[in-house]
Homo-oligomer: A and B are copies of this chain.
Amino acid sequence: MKRLALGAVIVLVSAQASAQSNPAALAAREWRDRNERAVLEELVEFLSIPNVTRDRAAIQRNAEFIVRMMARRGIQARPVTQGTANPIVFGEIRTPGATRTIAFYAHYDGQPVEETQWASPPFNPTLRTRPIDEGGEVVPLAALGSSVDPEARLYARSASDDKAPIMALMAAIDVIREAGLRLKSNIKFVFEGEEEALSPNLESMLTANRELFAADLWLIIDGPLHQTRRPLIYFGARGMVRLDVTVYGARTELHAGHYGNWAPNPALMLARLLASMRDDDGRVLIQGFYDDVEPLSDTERRAIVDAPTIDQDLMRDLWLGSTEGAPATLAEVITRPALTIRGLASARVGAQAVSVIPSTATASLILSLVKGMDPARTRDRVVNHIRDQGYFVVEEAPTPEVRRSHTRVAWVQTAQRGVGAVRTPMDLPVAREVIAIVEAVRGPAVKLPNMGGTLPLADIERPLGTRTITVPIVNHDNNQHSFDENLRIQNLWDGIELLAALLCM
């Protein structure tokens, strides 16, 4: 059997064994067999609408599309707006006699795209027989039969993050309506439009509409499944602070020969500054960085030990000869804070390189926070560290006078506010209930104290006093946030089954 991806064998077995113990999931499988092509067509239409967070006109078209998706299914839906924020699309199903409310959250905006890097345009959804790097070939959508190869991949920005979850929820509603299943809870749908910009307005919009958004539990249908393709439940997420640091050489690029050795080299300055922030093992050297970290509970530690260790397989798949923080496993290291360089730029390299001393050098950093760490305080610690390396730190582009009067100048930009980290206790009754449904539908689940990525959980919990649990449905190898983002079709089918069951909880 051709190796498709990590643990594909495990998946196929568990998928066949599942669903049958939950009537909603069973109905979903039966319904899906008859509606594969229609679901895919609706998703393709949805993915064809560009959705980069700051593209306001396109974001508006997405919001209108989602309102229509819900309206077609008999759900009252409308955009909730506030000032210049991208709208939250809200929808509701009131269930007579229900004593609790479950909110389903996903976001419809996507990360920026660098079109030239994509194998096919990011907003021209393209189905391929397999992943690109396994030689997947394009399948013209018009040529599709009524059934779709479950190992095919659909390539588009937000194919996984998060338009597939929204589509799966809509299909799950179709299932429930057609099969005449009874809901037990009130259901709310909350589709955010600026999650990829770190949800700058979510907390304030929830605060202004507390009653509308109130729920006993928010289920977050975001993020990837486990690398083994086993079902996965996250009880929290890391927080995040993004900052760009720019350091300066001369006003213009200078001839590297004529001025090399004399004009300060910002690329070297930046290299030395970044090198001072972390050691080779990924340990952050910034004063106080770990001070406020809240330790894991015994339950959480046990969950990490119980999680399957996939590090060796993942290393082989990713062509890695080592990992940071080894021998700690992936499941463990993501419960620690991190400092990641997500990009470097200074003049040019490769064919476009010319023989100059660069004028500036910029690094884009991500601080991944864990429970206990305050975003603003953590950012300040980084800024203090930069000062300790001899930099005069400015918050706006430095003037010529500032540059002339300091040996080293750093511009630290933090355009977006930070997001805090959350961990929901894994032994709450509602947590156990979610675990039971997921495992009944999809088999034994991996349960982790937090995902490595960021979700706006704190912005939901603070204003509403609710709990959040994250139930992903998409494949782990989806290239989320990067180019060639994709969805494995089987994950969409499995997601419909799981969400039908969770809608009936």
Contact = CB atoms under 8 A, between A and B. Distances in A.
Interface stretch (A3-11, A331-339, A379-387, A422-430): A331-339
Nearest to A476: B258
A51 to B, nearest CB: 14
Interface string A326-346: 000010011011101111111
A261 B349 contact: no
5 contacts: A256-B366, A257-B453, A262-B334, A343-B347, A344-B347
A453 B224 CA distance: 52
A319 B250 CA distance: 6
A377 interface: no
Contact of A252 (B278, B338, B400, B479): B479
A238 interface: yes
A319 B354 contact: no
A406 B354 CA distance: 32
Nearest to A413: B350
A363 interface: yes
A321 B452 contact: no
A260 interface: yes
A320 interface: yes
Contact of A482 (B253, B270, B362): B253
Interface residues of A, number: 101
A275 B278 contact: no
A262 B354 contact: no
B112 A325 contact: no
Given A260-B368, A363-B267, A322 B407 contact: yes
- As for how many copies of this chain the complex holds, the number is 2
A54 to B, nearest CB: 8
Contact of A261 (B275, B333, B483): B333
A201 interface: no
Interface string A257-283: 111111111011011111110101010
B268 A341 contact: yes
Interface in A454-499: 454, 476, 479-483
B255 A321 contact: no
A81 interface: no
Contacts of A237: 257
B333 A252 contact: no
Nearest to A278: B268
Nearest to A272: B275
A342 B319 contact: no
Contacts of A302: none
Contact of A322 (B242, B264, B350, B400): B264
A501 interface: no
B250 A320 contact: yes
A468 to B, nearest CB: 16
A243 to B, nearest CB: 11
Interface in A118-160: 133
Given A261-B336, A321-B406, A341 B255 contact: no
Given A258-B476, A315-B404, 10 more contacts: A238-B257, A249-B320, A256-B453, A258-B453, A262-B334, A265-B340, A271-B274, A321-B404, A345-B349, A347-B364
B272 A280 contact: yes
Contacts of A273: 271
A503 interface: no
Interface in A397-426: 400, 403-409
A41 to B, nearest CB: 28
Given A250-B318, A323-B263, A341-B271, A114 B348 contact: yes
Contacts of A362: 349-350
Contact of A352 (B112, B344, B409): B112
Contacts of A345: 344-346, 348-350
Given A355-B242, A482-B252, A452 B323 contact: no
Interface string A350-363: 11111111100111
